[in-house]
Structure 1
């Protein structure tokens, strides 16, 4: 398996672990949806306010680049992905999730008889309502470090 595929698989495993630890359900997208920028859907059991079984779509990115800054992470996103996520009124809310992974695959996890530790973490951001890009092919997204995906 090539390293990019490993990173993608590890990112899904990370999101599965976080989602299941808080009782949420994660369904990965079919290839058709992935082509639209949807990698997975997270469903929350029960209600939030008046919404029964609320859900949101996520686009998952992973990187081992050093993008962690004091207050945020800065991730370069393609114009295509940005446009898919910035829709003002999507049918299902959409989030960008960026999973930070150590450079060396041997450092991605550690395991003992008592624990399994997945290394680094993920951050989320809604791009809903952001302005369109003017002829740019990429944009650097700043995600506050407080937006950590955690249980």
Structure 2
């Protein structure tokens, strides 16, 4: 398997770990032609919207794209345009997982723990403006937007209350 395929598999594992601990289900579209790699589904819900859902475009990189305040991810224009629309029935976000450069650094394990090294960051591009760029759009993601169990639960709770991310 080449390194890009390994990164793709690793970011999927990151998402699966966060979603599992948050107590949600994952689903995967058969075809990703609309910038949706994964969907997250909740059972029940506490708000007026029952069984809230969230769709994600999932990316990963080991490039140094962070500064003190943000992650600056170069997103393909097609993905940017797909994610910035504001009339989806199911809200969509971009999740970028930063991982160490070499696969040997991605995971440590002992008898008592399994440590996945990397951090995901999320942003909603809903309502973002059109761009004159022709290939990519550099998307700044605040470093405070870590894609954690608590963050995912908060996003799903807001969706159940009718508030889109």
Q: Same fold (TM over 0.5)?
A: yes
Does 1:82 pair with 2:80? yes
Q: In angstroms, what is the RMSD of aligned CA positions?
A: 1.0
State the secondary structure of the residue aligned to 2:57: strand
* Aligned residue in 2 for 1:35: 33
Aligned equivalents of 2:53, 2:70: Cα separation in 1:
26
Stretch deviating more after TM superposition (43-52 or 6-15):
43-52
Describe the shift of the 1:80–1:108 C-alpha distance in structure 2 as closer, same or farther (beyond 3 A): same
Aligned equivalents of 2:46, 2:66: Cα separation in 1:
32
Aligned equivalents of 1:107, 1:134: Cα separation in 2:
38
Deviations 1:32-54 (A, max 9, x none): 2x122110000122214211010
Could you list the runs of 4 or more consecutive aligned residues of structure 1 that deviate by over 2 angstroms after TM superposition? none
More strand by share: 1
1:48–1:54 CA contact under 8 A, matched in 2: no
Aligned equivalents of 2:114, 2:138: Cα separation in 1:
33
- Give 1:93 deviation, angstroms: 0.5
- Give 1:135 deviation, angstroms: 4.3
* Aligned residue in 2 for 1:7: 7
Deviations 1:84-132 (A, max 9, x none): 1001111210000001110011000101111111001101100001111
Aligned equivalents of 2:42, 2:146: Cα separation in 1:
18
State the secondary structure of the residue aligned to 2:131: coil
* Aligned residue in 1 for 2:113: 115
Gaps of 5+ in 1: none
Aligned equivalents of 1:135, 1:115: Cα separation in 2:
45
